[in-house]
C-alpha cells in the first residue's frame, strides 16, 4: 500500500514505515504530524484518485529530527569580465517517519460545517426588509395619485 501526499507544496510517494526528508516543518521532534492532502491511494491494486484530494483519508507520521542537507555550491561567472561569485547553501530539512496510511478522519467535524451553513441560510431568509427612502415614498405616492 502506498499513497501520494502533498507536503509543503511538494508531492511524495510514501509507504508505511518509510522515512522521508521534507522541507522544515514547525513541529517539535518526536511529535505526531498528520498530512490531509492525499492525492492518490493504492491499496493492493485498488487505486483511488482524488479530485484534487481524497476526503476522509490522511497520512500519519512522526517527526524524527530536524537537520540540514549537504552543502550546495552556487558558482557564477561571466567570461572575460573578471566576475566570479561563489555562494553556498544548506537546505533545512525534517525527517518524518510514516506510521500509517488511510486512517479515516472523524465524520463529526463535517457535521458542524453543515449546521453552520443551515444557520446562515436561515439568517439570510430572516433579513430585515428594505426601508424605503423619502424620495422613493414620494415617487410611489405620485404614481398612485395619477
> Pick the residue with more confidence: 110 or 98?
98
CB neighbours (10 Å) of residue 7? Answer: 19
Q: What is the pLDDT of residue 108?
A: 47
Q: What is the pTM of this model?
A: 0.63
Average pLDDT of the residues of the chain: 85
Rg of the chain taking only CA atoms, in angstroms? 29
Is the pLDDT at 77 greater than 90, yes or no? yes
Percentage of the residues of the chain whose pLDDT score is greater than 90: 63
Q: For 107-123, what is the mean pLDDT?
A: 57
Domain boundaries, the chain: 2-107
Question: Given pLDDT bands bounded at 50, 70 and 90, which one contains residue 81?
Answer: very high
8 A C-beta contact, residue 3 and residue 11: no
Spatial CA neighbour of 30 closest among 95, 76, 85, 81: 95
Amino acid at each position: 500500500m502506498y499513497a501520494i501526499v502533498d507536503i509543503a507544496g511538494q508531492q511524495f510517494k510514501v509507504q508505511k514505515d518509510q522515512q522521508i526528508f521534507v522541507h522544515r516543518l514547525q513541529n517539535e521532534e518526536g511529535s505526531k504530524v498528520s498530512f490531509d492532502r492525499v492525492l492518490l491511494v493504492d491499496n493492493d491494486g485498488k487505486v483511488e484518485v482524488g479530485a484534487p484530494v481524497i476526503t476522509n483519508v490522511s497520512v500519519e507520521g512522526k517527526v524524527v529530527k530536524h537537520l540540514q542537507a549537504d552543502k550546495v555550491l552556487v558558482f557564477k561567472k561571466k567570461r572575460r569580465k573578471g566576475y566570479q561569485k561563489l555562494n553556498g547553501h544548506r537546505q533545512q530539512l525534517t525527517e518524518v517517519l510514516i506510521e500509517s496510511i488511510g486512517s479515516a478522519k472523524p465524520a463529526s467535524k463535517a457535521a458542524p460545517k453543515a449546521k453552520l451553513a443551515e444557520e446562515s441560510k436561515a439568517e439570510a431568509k430572516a433579513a430585515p426588509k428594505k426601508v424605503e427612502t423619502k424620495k422613493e415614498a414620494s415617487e410611489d405616492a405620485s404614481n398612485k395619485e395619477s
